Amino acid sequence: MSKTPIFTGSCTAIVTPYTQNGIDYKKFGELIEHQYAGGTSAILVCGTTGENPTHSEEEHNTLVEYCIKKTAGRMKVIVGVGANNTEHALQMSVHAKDAGADGLLMVTPYYNKTSQKGLIEHFSYVADRVSCPMILYNVPSRTGIGISPKTYKALSAHPNICGVKEASGNIAEYAMSRALCGDDLVFWSGNDSDTLPMMALGAYGVISVASNIIPDAVSKLCSLCLDGDFRAATEHYFVYADFFEKLFIETNPMPLKAAMNLAGMNVGKPRLPLVDISDANREILIASMQKIGLSVSL
């Protein structure tokens, strides 16, 4: 069955701005407006970049509801519902669907990592019970388990599993997955640095970290690829390639929040166990920001 993408182009895995007292919803609203002005197609709320593992259930639910209300249908909203507890993932999925989300993003279970058979049953259990379209999230560097091409093929038969945020960094394995699944599973890049080669092999866009700070540039990269102008897309990509890399000089979203604060966006510090980046890496990040013309407030 041919699947329809929830969005095409750039989806921002949006940060969660904090104050000492909790989540800064006024700033969160400003960030959403910044995304809309930059041509972003969708917002991923409560993802890894949003530091969702540090949120209480109340914070998670309020963020989801606020984001959906604030976007007001102008951009698609996808909700991170991944957990290593299948029933908890289902509960978050039901809330997201009831709140009006356009899609769910469900990462592979971490720590109590399972087999490929277990992945199929875990994802299918939730997809069987919630009608909101599901995007699988493959990021083995964080979770310790990857989704194999054969598992993608098996899951592509589920009518409610729409696609994949592919962040393994393994382009050859991604190509094999595309060959096996065809149009039965939609793929998006899960790494800014992989957007160009993955879109050349049929991905519909990127779920991006960098677009938090340069939404217009990431949106343009996706548009050029979707238009099939890969020569122009390559030239555009080369401008930002170093910045894409430097945003991962330490664990995401620590460098991203540092960059946003340096750019005057005032999103607050990351929550423990994440911390500010080192002074040495901060200087490297500043140089990369200045290279692409971002103003830096020291």
Q: What is the number of helices (H) and of strands (E) in the chain?
A: 12, 10
Cα separation of 163 and 198, whole Å? 14
Alpha-carbon 272 to chain mean position: 21
Cα separation of 293 and 145, whole Å? 38
Residue 150 annotated in active site: no
Contacts 24+ apart (CB under 8 A), 119-125: 119/145, 119/147, 119/151, 119/155, 120/151, 120/154, 120/155, 122/86, 122/89, 123/155, 123/158, 123/161, 124/155, 124/158, 124/161, 125/86, 125/90
Sign, CA dihedral 109-113-119-122, equals: negative
Q: One of 3, 27, 76, 165 is an active-site residue; which one?
A: 165
CB 50 within 8 A of CB 256: no
Residue 113 annotated in active site: no
Q: One of 18, 27, 97, 137 is an active-site residue; which one?
A: 137
Residue 253: φ, ψ to 5°? -100, 25
Cα separation of 155 and 150, whole Å? 9
Cα separation of 101 and 28, whole Å? 17
Is the previous residue joined to 149 through a cis bond, with omega within 30 degrees of 0? no
Is the previous residue joined to 17 through a cis bond, with omega within 30 degrees of 0? no
What residues are annotated to the active site?
Answer: 137, 165
